[in-house]
Amino acid sequence: MQLVFPLYSIGHFINQPDKPTEFEITRFEQMEEPDVEDPHKHTFYEIIWIDSGRSRQAIDYVEYELTPGSLFFISPGQLHFFEEWEPLTGGSILFTEDFFLLNYQNRDTLFELSFLDNFYANPLLRPSPDNFADIRHTIELLGREQQRTDRSNAITQSLLHVLLAQIQRCIDSEAGQAVPKKYVLLYKNLKSLLDQHFADNWPVSVYADRLNITQHHLNLVCKQVTGKTASEVVRARSMLEAKRLLSFSDLTITEVATQLNFLDSSYFARVFRRETGASPVAFRQALIETWRGSGSLSRYPT
């Protein structure tokens, strides 16, 4: 079974869905509200910065509150829900993988950024005031470049790389040390395999074999990048899909368990409760109550 969520390009967020743009910078106080549905997925990366006001957003069922001086990251394929906001100032930087890699042959330069394409990384960052000021300066330079009649993709891409390096430095500083790039790359290769094979319910040993490393080394990589064991990372990806099936399909609990190759629905329910703190039935009912309160219930199964 393939779940279908609206999949939006950058053009949708500037209300020009047919525009094949690969980079945009928008400001909340100037932009029209985009004609997009929630929840949805992106085909691009988005960095949100907040100067004033507050917003609540959810990525893959985890809610975050954005406050002044904060940054928020959304990667392709994540399930995004823009829940609510007070009057905001700030904006978004939207870019595709192809734009980031313009004139670069090695895709690893993008994968080395630990805060992107990582379902365990915290997508919300609150840099120190000095670091946020430096990041905002780079954003201003990006904005000015985009406003020029003779704007250059090469200059824009270079400024984007500076911005992402500044953000990575903040993250490494908060962590106390930088995670080795080779570990980040291995972890993201694991994530790619998980996205393809989460329903196969493979043990960790199979993923380690596919990555040509030992199970012990894969566990070390996951602990370094996410703070979780390899088993926890694999299980979390399966449970994320379980949440999506419970939320956006009319499958029974037993059918969801079967879909994810749990032959015993009781065991599936125990794992789900251990991971989420709620039974599958309670999780689905809580979502129904939430959507009934927001007036969005008609879009979802009961």
**Tens digit of each residue's pLDDT, the chain (302 residues):** 455 678 899 999 888 888 889 999 999 988 777 888 777 889 999 999 999 999 888 888 888 999 999 999 999 888 888 766 668 899 999 999 889 887 666 666 666 787 787 777 789 999 999 999 999 999 999 999 999 999 999 999 999 999 999 999 998 888 777 778 889 889 989 998 998 898 888 999 999 999 999 999 999 999 988 889 999 999 999 998 899 888 878 889 999 999 899 888 999 999 999 988 999 999 988 877 765 455 443 333 33
Q: What is the DSSP letter of 29?
A: T
Other beta carbons less than 10 A from residue 254's beta carbon = 15
Place of tokens 């992402």: 164
- Can you list the pairs that 81-86 forms with residues at least 24 positions away whose Cβ atoms lie under 8 Å? 81/38, 81/39, 81/40, 81/57, 82/38, 82/55, 82/57, 83/38, 83/55, 83/56, 83/57, 83/58, 84/55, 84/56, 85/53, 85/54, 85/55, 85/56, 86/53, 86/54, 86/55
Bridge pairing between strands 41-42 and 71-74? unpaired
SS3 category, 291: helix
Residues of the chain with CATH 2.60.120.280: 7-175
Place of tokens 């500044």: 166
Residues of the chain with CATH 1.10.10.60: 181-299
SS3 category, 296: coil
Tell me how far apart the alpha carbons of residues 247 and 88 are, in angstroms, rounded to a whole number.
Answer: 29
pTM above 0.85, yes or no: no
DSSP 192-256: HHHHHHGGGT--HHHHHHHTTS-HHHHHHHHHHHHSS-HHHHHHHHHHHHHHHHHHH----HHHH
Per-residue CA distances from 255 to 196, 238, 242, 258, 265 (Å): 20, 14, 11, 5, 8
- pLDDT in the model for residue 296: 45
CATH of domain 181-299: 1.10.10.60
CATH of domain 7-175: 2.60.120.280
Tell me how far apart the alpha carbons of residues 265 and 9 are, in angstroms, rounded to a whole number.
Answer: 37
